[in-house]
Chains A and B, each alone.
Chain A
Amino acid sequence: MARLVFLGRLEDVAGAPELACPLAEPTALVDLLLMLPPTLAEALQGPRVRLALNGTVAESAGLVVTDGDELAFLPPVSGG
Chain B
Amino acid sequence: MGSDVRLVLGPFDPGAEVAAFAEKYPAAGGVVSFLGQVRAGDGVEALELRHYDPLTMPGMEALAREVESRWALDGLLILHRSGEMRPGEPIVLVCAASRHRRDAFAAADFAMDHLKSDSWFWKRERVNGEWRWIEPREQDHADLARWA
Measured CB to CB, the residues of A under 8 A from B are 5, 7-9, 12, 52, 54-57, 70, 72, 74-80
* Bound CA span A28–B130, Å: 37
Measured CB to CB, the residues of B under 8 A from A are 36, 49-50, 52, 54-55, 80, 91-92, 112, 115-124, 133-136, 140
The answer on a CB contact under 8 Å between A77 and B119 is yes
Chain B residues within 8 Å of A72, by CB: 52, 54-55
Chain B residues within 8 Å of A70, by CB: 54
A-B contact pairs, 19 of them (CB 8 A): A7-B122, A8-B122, A52-B55, A72-B54, A76-B135, A77-B118, A77-B119, A77-B136, A78-B117, A78-B123, A78-B136, A78-B140, A79-B49, A79-B120, A79-B121, A80-B36, A80-B80, A80-B92, A80-B115
Count A/B pairs, Cβ under 8 Å.
Answer: 66
Given A7-B50, A52-B54, A77 contacting B117 (CB threshold 8 A)? yes
The answer on a CB contact under 8 Å between B52 and A5 is yes
Find B133's partner among A8, A54, A80 (CB 8 Å cutoff).
A8
- B112 and chain A: residue at smallest CB distance: A80
Given A7-B122, A8-B133, A9-B133, A80 contacting B55 (CB threshold 8 A)? no
- B122 and chain A: residue at smallest CB distance: A8
Chain A residues within 8 Å of B115, by CB: 79-80
* Bound CA span A61–B90, Å: 40
* Bound CA span A77–B49, Å: 10
- A34 → B minimal CB distance (Å): 25
The answer on a CB contact under 8 Å between B52 and A75 is no
- A56 → B minimal CB distance (Å): 8
Chain A residues within 8 Å of B120, by CB: 74, 77, 79
